[in-house]
Structure 1
Amino acid sequence: MALLLMIAVLLLSLWTWICYLLIKFIAGIIGNLLNPNLTVNNTAVFAVSFFVAGISLYFILFSTPAKNYKTAYIENQQGVLKVTVKGKRVLMAHDPISAFLRQTYEDSLTFLLPRNKGVIQSNEIKELQGRYKPTGTISIDKDEMSIKLYYDNEQTDPYSWNGKYNLQFR
C-alpha cells in the first residue's frame, strides 16, 4: 500500500512538473507579446500548474468514456423475446500509457425474456452469455425498458448495463 502511495505521489509530482513547464512557457510567450518587461511570478505559475495537474488527473482517473447506448433491440424468437443492449466499454489497461489513452470497444449483452411488458423478475431472465445469475428486475412499458439488475443478492454490485432504454422492435 505504501509503495502504491509513493508511486501516486511520484506521478502527481511528475505531471505537475510537466504542467509547470508548459504553463511557464505559454506565460512567457504571452507575457513577451503583451509587455516585454513583464516577469512571470513562479509561485503563481506553480499554483496554476498544480491546479491543472490535479484537475486533469481527476478527470482521467474518475471519469470514463464507457457508456450504454439508449436503444435496446428486441425480437421475437419462437415465443421468447431476445433483447440486446449495446454500449462502449473501456479496454483493460495493462500499462500506464494504455490507462491514459482510454480506448473503447463496442460490447453487447443479450437477455431472453418471457414477455414484452410489465416487471420481469430476475428468476425469469436468462442471459445468453450466462456468466452470472442476476438479481433485480427488468421493466418494460410500451417502447421503454428499464434494467435494474445486480450481481449478488444484496443489490450492492449493479450491472454496468443498468439504465433506461428505448426499445426498437426488429
Structure 2
Amino acid sequence: APYLARLVRAIELVRRHLSRAQVVEQLHFGGGTPTFLSPGQLRELMSQLRTHLNLLDDDSGDYGIEIDPREADWSTMGLLRELGFNRVSLGVQDFDMEVQKAVNRMQTPEETRTIVEAARTLQYRWLNRERSYGLPRQTPASFARTVAGVLALPPGRGSGCDCAR
C-alpha cells in the first residue's frame, strides 16, 4: 500500500530528529481515516511506530484515534485497544436523516452506541463524541435532538465542530 509505505517513511524521518531515549507520551491519529485502514495495515503501522519510536507500553501514554462509527465495530475497537490506543474520538455529525442525506453521511444512533459501549467495556480511558453544527439542512431543533441523543449515551466528553459555510 503506497499510503502506508509513505507513512513509514515519514516515521523514519521523524525518528532521525529524536533521541531514542525520548518517550512519545502522546500520539493521535485523526481525521476519521485511520479506521479505513485494514486490521493488517493498522498492525503494521503500529509495529513500525514501536520499532522507530519509544512508545510507552504500560497504558500511561495518551494514544488516541478518531473513529468513523460506520467503519468500526467491536472487533475494530478490540484491535485498537490491543495496539495500545486508550483514547477514542467519534464523529457524530448529526442524527437527523435529512441532515445526514445532505452531507452524505448516513449514520445510525445504534452504530454510535455500539462504539461507545465497546469503548467503555474495553476500558478506553477517554471517549469524545464530536458533533458538527452549521451543516446543510440542520436546524436548531435537529441539532438539539442530536445533542440529546449523544447525552443519552454513557458518559464521556463532547465537543462541537463549526461547519458553517
Same structural fold, with TM-score higher than 0.5 when normalized by the shorter chain: no
Larger Rg: 1
Higher helix share: 2
Higher strand share: 1
TM-score where L is the length of structure 2: 0.22
